[in-house]
A and B are shown apart, each in its own frame.
Chain A
Amino acid sequence: MGLQFPSNEWTQAFKEAVNANAAYGAAGKDWTHGKVAYVIKADPRLGTTTDMAMVLDLHAGKCREASYVDGETAKSSDFVIVAEYPRWREVLSGEVDPTKAMMQNKLKLEKGHLPTIVKFVVASKELVRSALVIDTDYPAV
């Protein structure tokens, strides 16, 4: 049985997966721009009544800390990316590329310096690709 998404357990597994991803370590080695929050909009399919978020404290190709918090708390992160649950599922399961999802307005950068994100586009892709190794129970869409 896999880990439930989203949850604190899944978030901690994500941290471990990021730190085990050598490609992310290489692509993100110059990242010193702070925390990144993935905010999942409230969704009855997830049993959530408020927005929830995974906050990753990324630094120099490693994830120093990861936390599963409410959406309000996540707003203090340096970069805040927001999407509905089905969109996160598509991106984190590898069905949709994150750049493509942003172009299609499925993922929205609500806070943060976009040129920095674009500069680290390879790292951003590897970051979400890290999730592919996590045995995940995604609630049905």
Chain B
Amino acid sequence: MPSNHTPSATPVVVEIDPSALDNGLANMLATMMQQNLVDHPARAAVLEGLNGRLAIFAEDAEVAVTWVFENGHATVHDGIVGIPDLTLRGGFEQIGDMSRMESLGPVPDPRGPVNQAMWKAVREGKLRVHGLPRGLRLLLGFGEVMQIV
């Protein structure tokens, strides 16, 4: 889906912290982000606007990462690092499906089947989001950068 953002003039940087080189989730997310920025260059502007810490914990896979966003520089670390502004906790299925969520522009499409499954997971406590509403911008921005469609 084409983004409405204009391409960024400043190159953004996506890095894997040395602590996370053997973390499969970190490698998956960083690769996804890098390839999405190549496929959709306009998303660099979204990434550039993100600031804060986002922790993701795939509980049943027993793997966690923390993204640190700072003025167009995104680094993924192994485990929970520092005090996250936003934390997503859930099963690996829900974490894996996050990038498949359907959107209407920058917001989730409530009719999308993946979105409906995600809302159901939230209602059932299988996916938990800590840090809202303060971290809403971080959540939506991250979702837009990571989206694969």
User: Interface on A for B, CB 8 Å cutoff?
Assistant: 97, 99-109, 113-116, 118-119, 121
Q: In the assembly, what is the distance between CA of A116 and CA of B149, in Å?
A: 9
> Do B27 and A118 have beta carbons less than 8 Å apart?
no
Q: In the assembly, what is the distance between CA of A97 and CA of B32, in Å?
A: 19
> Do B31 and A97 have beta carbons less than 8 Å apart?
no
> Do B92 and A105 have beta carbons less than 8 Å apart?
no
Please, which residues of chain B bring their CB within 8 A of the CB of A100? Answer: 58, 60-61, 92
> Do B22 and A105 have beta carbons less than 8 Å apart?
yes
Q: In the assembly, what is the distance between CA of A37 and CA of B23, in Å?
A: 22
Q: Is the interface of B mostly helix, strand, loop or mixed?
A: helix
Please, which residues of chain A bring their CB within 8 A of the CB of B61? Answer: 100, 103-104
User: Interface on B for A, CB 8 Å cutoff?
Assistant: 22-25, 27-28, 31-32, 35-36, 39, 58, 60-63, 92-93, 95-97, 99-100, 148-149
Tell me the nearest residue of chain A to B30, going by C-beta: A114
Please, which residues of chain A bring their CB within 8 A of the CB of B63? Answer: 103-104
> Do A114 and B31 have beta carbons less than 8 Å apart?
yes
Given A97-B92, A99-B93, A102-B24, are A109 and B148 neighbors across the interface (CB < 8 Å)?
A: no
- For the complex of A and B, 5 pairs with smallest distance between CB atoms: A105-B24, A115-B148, A103-B25, A103-B61, A99-B96
Please, which residues of chain B bring their CB within 8 A of the CB of A116? Answer: 148
